[in-house]
Chain A
Amino acid sequence: MKLHEFQAKAIFRKYSIPVPEGSMALTPEKAAEIASGFPGKAVIKAQVHVGGRGKAGGVKLSSGKEEAFATAGTILGMDLKGLIVKKVLVEKAIDIDKEYYVSFAIDRAKHMTVFISSIMGGVDIEDVAKKSPESINKSYIDPFTGLKDFHIRPFLKQAGLDKDACAQASKIIKNLYKIFLETDANLVEINPLVLTKDNKVIAADAKMDIDDNAMYRQQEIYDMVKDELEAQPEHQAKQKGLSYIKMEGNIGCIVNGAGLSMATMDIIKLYGGEPANFLDIGGSSNPEKVKYAMQLLMGDENVKVAFFNIFGGITRCDDVARGLISAISELKVNFPIVVRLTGTNASEAKEILKGSELIFEETMIGAAKKAVGLVAR
């Protein structure tokens, strides 16, 4: 679960990491009001989960209340790489001397927390890694000892900060690590970490990604993101035990298991079709889930065909079949349904579905070809 910059900065403040003065606005009026609260220029930043907001036109400077109103007006409602901007962060502009990069992340291959730092901040770290890998430092942290001074020292040295700035940066990095642990983050990142012309170290940007698996013990964070989260169909599906991701195609998929769901999408594409979604109904055979899955597909106006791909194991095919029967009798499904059921109780399932208008196929490839053919007609 990614947090917006303004949400991450609220957490930073709680942990005494200095951030520029400012707050979030939903309207140009509010943005103008915030901007008039401090002297000098204001930065207006789109709050959407895309990288490279600045380059895409989602971050702008303005001076004065009227300009802030106008600038916020152009950013709010803007389409940034497919996402509509609904919130902006209005902040006091800072006088930048130098820009650095610091983050804590989880290194999957090493099974360790990694502290990544660079003296080239303010740009995409993936680009820095390609162009000037020598500017990047990585230290790996044992979870039982935690962050130590020696992990940070190479960065402080490379950054060439004076004693006072070193103390500030060191405190920020230690508190960032604390946030990383205490919020169950996959990533906490400051890019850029700024040294101002008056020798102050400030987090000019903030990025956080929280482990979805830890949400049960991160109530404060959940409350923070609740409204936005609960409006997403993906999240609504998750509450019902389904894993759903909308795509752009027209063949709706209902599958059990994440790997098989991905493979089903791939095979549709391989035979010339486009998947409308990823949908994993999980390991249980609850007929209600099948019905809800069908409703999700019906809610997507692009869907022209449904493709059921069930590999029975723990999931019993006859249970899925019952769910399917109740779904088609209760809902007005207006597209053909291609069904492929194999494994536990598959023959019972076929018996249950006999006489229905469903189209049966024995293999995954056969079913994919059939679904693609139906769309093409």
Chain B
Amino acid sequence: MNAAAWAVLLTVLLVGWVVLDGAVQGAGATLLQDRGPDGKDKRREPAQRRVVLGAVGPLLLPGEVWLVAALGVLIGVFPHAEADLLAVGYPVAIVLVASWALRDAGIWLRSRRPGNVWRDVWDVVLVVASIALAGSWGALLGVAWGSGLVALALGVAAVVVTRLHGDAVVAWRLRRTGPLPVVVTSVMIAAPVVGTAIAAWPRLVGGAVSEETMAGLGIVALVVLPLILALQVAAWWLVSRPLDRRDTLFF
């Protein structure tokens, strides 16, 4: 695999992350918001929050691996591009990893103890961290464009689109809607990633390692790719089912 093929793979990994993990971020960001039968906004009941987390729960582990893998490709194949990006985007990257850790802790720990106070506090943490994660991701994409204004715009756009995406996935799992809204929000959430990859293409490909190393790593990647895809398809199948009594409500 040459630099162009690796850059395509990196883009695919990042798109995979925003589509899968974006649903978890969106559901987290809107966890406390519900709409009553009269059409007015109200605070979501604890049992309904558990249903929402159950709807997107199976996406968390198979979703965040895509960004971890993308980081691995950055370090292994584009180390110079990564060093350049993080030198400029230093504070944004710090907020990104901090909010990511906080979001994960919120999801994993909130249901581990009974008690309204424990869960309510974690739920607020989850909402804030999910918004910060989506926003800092969008901003980091903007940093790759080399403009503070674009960073701000993409950050705000990411926050808005992840909310729509999370809502769409939850509604689909509860079979309140069909899959079409999920397709639409997936395209919306993926578009900035693809656009940024195209804009940053020359600097990305220029920051790659030697041909031999790329080829060697490429063989490893091509060998495991079928296995990874098969397991991912199995994980997506879990999520494509309507939420029912055979689901595990671990989160």
Binding between chains A and B: no
